[in-house]
Amino acid sequence: MKCPYCAHDETNVIDSRESSEQDAIRRRRVCAKCDKRFTTYERVEGIDLKVIKKDGSREDFSRDKLKRGIIKATWKRPVSLSDIDDLVDEIEQKLRLKKNSQVKSWEVGNLVINRLRKLDTLSYLLFASVYRDFESVEDFAGEIERLQNQDNDQSLNQQSVQAKDNLS
């Protein structure tokens, strides 16, 4: 394994662990030349998954591309890299469980949006602005209004459940 800092090709594994989902092995390595440490992950290569873009072109599914997009949306937000890795793992797992080896880009986007909405509302808005091609402040205002209405609906549902529980 090449060192990402100095490109030396001799590194040593100092720790290996299975991920909590047991779908990857995390290895801590140290470079024999510069002594810097870095982490690598070993994953099973699954079914080749193709993403069908809006223009009809196809490209290989890329965990890294998905993760970069989510990192951009969560930049300077209270979302940890661990949360992002969990989100990417969950999305990839859902996509790989599908019977079809091709998935439309909007399906991937919807999976990200639904999870980000629960994780961090502002990150959700930032991702949605790119994913849904927001072109104006009105687009943001409309999405914020939808979020507020959903929050109000959820609060009303919770209050109604609590009221029913109190009557029982």
- Name the residue range of residue 37's domain: 1-44
Q: Is position 158 within any domain?
A: no
Q: Is position 88 within any domain?
A: yes
pTM for the full model? 0.62
Q: Is position 72 within any domain?
A: yes
Q: Is position 144 within any domain?
A: no
Overall number of domains in the chain: 2
**Whether 84 and 7 share a structural domain:** no
Q: Is position 26 within any domain?
A: yes
Q: Is position 157 within any domain?
A: no
Residues 6+ apart with CB under 8 A from 50: 58, 59, 60, 61, 101, 102, 103
**Whether 14 and 67 share a structural domain:** no
37-43 vs 24-31, strand pairing mode: antiparallel
Render pLDDT for 130-145 as a digit per residue (tens, 0 to 9).
888 888 999 989 989 9
**Whether 50 and 39 share a structural domain:** no
> What is d(CA 46, CA 101) in angstroms, rounded to the nearest whole number?
10
Q: Is position 153 within any domain?
A: no
Q: Is position 92 within any domain?
A: yes
Render pLDDT for 43-89 as a digit per residue (tens, 0 to 9).
776 558 899 998 999 999 998 999 999 999 999 999 999 899 999 98
Render pLDDT for 87-133 as a digit per residue (tens, 0 to 9).
998 998 899 888 888 999 999 999 999 999 899 999 999 888 888 88
